[in-house]
Amino acid sequence: MPAKAGQSGKGSGGAGIRSGGVAGSSSGASRETITNPASSASIPKNSTFLFRIEPLRPNFDVQQRQTNKHGFWDPPTNRAAYKSGPGSLYQWSDGRAQRVPENDGVQRQMLQPFGAVSVFTQRPSTDHLLAVNFDVRETAVSTQGGWRPLSFRRRSMASKNHYLTYIDPNGTSYNMPAPDTGHWIPQLLPPCYNPGAQSDAHGRLVAPTTVNGGLIGRLPLLIALAGFSAPESKMSAVIEQCIRPNTWRRHSLVSGRDYEHRGMVVTVYLDPANPRRSTSDFLTKLENGDYGPFYGR
């Protein structure tokens, strides 16, 4: 576990996932029909994909620690300058994620990748996240224009004054297109991306005139946000218990974004056991919000 900014290397291993924030497990949970609130589209039943999360650390013996023109720490750009830990494979099924057992046969298969992202915190310099749309252990960041801050673009919805926010390292704005009050925001995105949000006298966010219907975008990046929402030791539990159909189920853990030099690679794969429902076309529609938000209200 990397050291938390301003603290020792200890994480919050004693923190629990409390009832009221998150309760229970996804095992055996019923599968509901998932309806896009802005249209009649719904996620096809029995839709699945696989994803793997692998932790990353910079290897300063290969490439020295570097800062950008703002004085903020930047992750390495040399593809050999990373240390990666053992990853975990998960299956997303109808809006919920579950870890794939180590003895499952799919662990030994050659999986067909749909896409990957690499993401790092910039702690202790800033609370921004940096990302690229590939596995940095396979492609040198230095040959692809460098690390990019998270960015956003708007996708209109059917109802007036509502839209979905598409997140991508190659978006058009470094802030969300409009302030938002969604319950998913504080755990999944640092406050720097929602700068226009207004609070009332009691500290509650005030709903803006234009309503953000939720977050869509690159699937590996959406999953990485969930992974960064908690310390690494609690990440698997959060992935399984907090990713829900079209929404995010809040937990009671401290943020995992506050740890120095923490990074991860998330790779999304087609599910070889479900070739009819796990297709590139389906995953592209899921990214584009055709079935509603990935994380919404």
pLDDT digits (tens, 9 = 90+) for 2-12: 444 444 333 33
Average pLDDT over residues 286-291: 93
Give 171-193 pLDDT, tens digit per residue. 788 877 755 566 778 899 887 78
- What pLDDT was estimated at residue 182? 67
Average pLDDT estimate for 14-43: 43
R_g over Cα of the chain: 19
Mean of per-residue pLDDT scores for the chain:
81
How high is the pLDDT of residue 41? 66
pTM for this structure? 0.82
Please state, in angstroms and rounded to a whole number, the distance separating the CA atoms of residues 250 and 17. 9
Q: What is the pLDDT of residue 294?
A: 93
pLDDT above 90 covers what percent of the chain? 53
Residues 134-140 have a mean pLDDT of 97
Asked if pLDDT for residue 251 goes beyond 70, the answer is yes
Name beta bridge partners: 90.
51, 99
Beta-carbon contacts of residue 169 (< 8 Å; ≥ 6 apart): 117, 131, 132, 133, 148, 149, 150, 151, 218, 221
pLDDT confidence bin for 20, thresholds 50/70/90 = very low
Q: H helices of 160-218, where?
A: 185-188
Hey, what are 208's tokens? 């803006």
Q: What is the pLDDT of residues 72-106, one digit of tens each?
A: 889 999 999 999 988 999 999 999 999 999 889 88
How many Å apart are CA 155 and CA 34, to the nearest integer? Answer: 19
Q: In what order do the strands lie in the sheet with 162-168?
A: 151-156, 162-168, 211-217, 295-296, 247-248, 243-244
pLDDT recorded at residue 124: 76
Output the pLDDT for position 211: 54
Predicted local distance difference test score (pLDDT) of residue 114: 98
